[in-house]
Homo-oligomer: A and B are copies of this chain.
Amino acid sequence: MIRPATPTDVPMIARLIRELAEYEKLAHACVMKESDLHNHLFGATKYAEVLIAEDAGAVVGFALFFHNYSTFRAKPGIYLEDLFVMPEYRGRGHGKALLVALAKLAVERDCSRVEWSVLNWNTPSIDFYKALGAKPMDEWSVFRLTDDALKKLASS
């Protein structure tokens, strides 16, 4: 079962984000504060939305996403920032159900596409995404400006 998250889901979403960071070998980069996450999902300015996957009434996974925008199509899109299913609940279709629900939302909202990023070593996920018809954007590189480099440019 897939449903939109509510404010009472925030502690569980925070736990799942930390589990995802462990899985991606990026626990050191996960410095999220649960109160900030709460504000950004359910406060005055909403930066993202969450779908929850349940199995027999228990939360077992989530998809966190926001809208991006294609100028060439002049249409919004959906960017899936995080997709995670607890390891002990994998292989039961929860990941696919979350992606199907997201694709339905994209079509309902007249979005031209759904996009997300995957670590290059994560071949099980890459194979899964390709089987769904997703294409890697191999001809593009993403650049990131953060921390000291961002502050330096901002003050130049």
Measured CB to CB, the residues of A under 8 A from B are 17, 20-21, 26, 29-34, 36-37, 40, 47-48, 64, 66-76, 79, 81-82, 99-100, 103-104, 106-107, 112-121, 126, 129, 132-154, 156
Contacts and interface: CB of A to CB of B under 8 A. Distances in A.
Q: Which one of A74, A82, A118, A151 has the greatest number of beta carbons of chain B within 10 Å?
A: A74
Contact of A137 (B17, B143, B153): B143
Contact of A72 (B32, B147, B148): B32
Copies held by the complex: 2
Please give me the 3 A-B residue pairs with the lowest Cβ-Cβ distance, nearest first.
A133-B149, A32-B74, A103-B154
A99 B156 CA distance: 10
A67 B66 contact: yes
Chain A at the B interface: SS class: mixed
A89 to B, nearest CB: 20
Contacts of A145: 103, 113-115, 132-135
Contacts of A148: 133
Contact of A139 (B37, B40, B119): B119
Given A32-B74, A74-B33, A104-B154, A149 B132 contact: yes
